[in-house]
Amino acid sequence: MNEIHKLYRQLQQQLPGLELRLDEPMSRHTTFRVGGPAALMACPLQTEELVEAVKLARAWEVPTVVVGNGSNLLVDDKGVDAFVIKTVPQFGACDVQGEEMTAQAGILLSQLAIRAAEAGLTGLEFAHGIPGSLGGGVTMNAGAYGGEMVQVVRQVGVLCPDGTVETWEGERCEFRYRHSAFSAGTHLVLWAKVGLKPGNQEEIREKMRDLAARRREKQPLDFPSAGSTFKRPEGHFAAALIDQCGLKGLRVGGAMVSEKHAGFVVNVGGATCSDVLHLMDEIRQRVFQATGVELEPEVRYLK
């Protein structure tokens, strides 16, 4: 029996309520619909379960990775030889206190934005159309249409590598463009508190409708993808560079540069991770040759 199976047995015994899956296809948990199996997956519903599961995995020296909604993930075709903890939307209790909202990591950003609108709080409209979880959004410092998580995150509940749980102020989270102190995967986001401002409910809803319409118009939402494939290079836009190089429609297997938005690689049917990686390599090479700009992936590659 290997360490993963030993961990599985111990988790079954010590955390009987915890949902566990062996060899769970990650294609079911990524918006790209790509990826081989996770050796072991758990979907905790309580903070204590998540913390305990991570501690046990560390005791068995089993590598552990926390994922949210899988909307920025590219998982290898061979899968992930690790313990994958998925923060599901049910791990997403949310509490509104005055102008602040505190929620567990699994809540979807869309839901959090809707809760803010219901409470008459403005500041999260930008996040309504980002198809990630709060934990993933904080980790990626997700942003759109002038908004970014750094602008609203006040505190984060952090699971540290030694198993302790700390509360970090926003300033400690090292937020930069699509980066945070959590990007390295050593410190995990358990919950976050966002600070918003009182606003007019109808205006908040109208802004969310407007941004949704802009997304539908510009983005290839009919195809599986992981959003923008590359980060915005300093002084440029990745999509404009890719378009300028005539790469819209460029295809490797089932992976294609979207005809609608060159910044997206889409799965047009049966794409493998290898297809996506080859296409991304091709895009980077051609853009570099033509423009001298190096594109850096925004999607996180997991293997």
Residue from 41, 43, 54, 71 touching ligand FAD (CB under 6 A): that is: 71
Joined together, the tokens standing for residue 10 give 């111990």
Which range, of 6-14, 124-132, 243-251, 254-262, touches ligand FAD by CB under 6 A? 124-132
Joined together, the tokens standing for residue 170 give 């926003």
Q: Does 72 bind ligand FAD (CB under 6 A)?
A: yes
- Beta strands per DSSP E along the chain: 19-25, 37-43, 64-67, 73-75, 80-86, 94-97, 100-104, 121-122, 143-144, 147-148, 153-159, 165-169, 188-195, 197-198, 225-228, 251-252, 255-257, 264-267, 300-302
Residue from 27, 87, 267, 272 touching ligand FAD (CB under 6 A): that is: 87
Which range, of 39-47, 160-168, 180-188, 203-211, touches ligand FAD by CB under 6 A? 180-188
Residues 7-36 close enough to bind ligand FAD by CB under 6 A: 31
# chain residues binding ligand FAD, by CB under 6 A = 34
The upper half-sphere exposure of residue 239, i.e. CA atoms within 13 Å in the direction of its Cβ, equals 13
H helix intervals, the chain: 3-14, 47-59, 109-118, 134-140, 149-152, 201-218, 238-244, 273-291
Residue from 137, 147, 170, 254 touching ligand FAD (CB under 6 A): that is: 137
Kindly state the smallest distance separating residue 108's Cβ from ligand FAD, in Å. 8
Residues 250-289 close enough to bind ligand FAD by CB under 6 A: none
Kindly state the smallest distance separating residue 46's Cβ from ligand FAD, in Å. 14
Residue from 4, 26, 66, 194 touching ligand FAD (CB under 6 A): that is: 66
Asked if residue 140 lies in contact with residue 183, where contact means CB atoms within 8 angstroms, the answer is yes
Residues annotated as catalytic are: 178, 228, 298
Q: Does 92 bind ligand FAD (CB under 6 A)?
A: no
Which of 109, 287 has the CB closer to ligand FAD? 109
What mask, x for binding ligand FAD by CB under 6 A, covers residues 212 to 241? -------x-x---xxx--------------
Task: Name the residue type at position 290.
Answer: A
Residue from 182, 191, 223, 230 touching ligand FAD (CB under 6 A): that is: 182
Q: Does 136 bind ligand FAD (CB under 6 A)?
A: yes
H helix intervals, 23-142: 47-59, 109-118, 134-140
Kindly state the smallest distance separating residue 224's Cβ from ligand FAD, in Å. 8
Kindly state the smallest distance separating residue 193's Cβ from ligand FAD, in Å. 14
Q: Does 168 bind ligand FAD (CB under 6 A)?
A: no
Residue 160 region, left (φ>0) first, then alpha (ψ -120 to 50), else beta? beta
With H, G, I as helix, E, B as strand and everything else as coil, classify residue 112: helix
H helix intervals, 119-252: 134-140, 149-152, 201-218, 238-244
- Say how far apart CA 244 and CA 262 lie, in whole Å: 9
- Nearest CA to 258 out of 223, 232, 231 is that of 223
Binding positions for ligand FAD, rule: CB under 6 A: 31, 65-73, 87, 105, 130-133, 135-137, 139-140, 142-144, 182, 185, 188-189, 219, 221, 225-227, 300
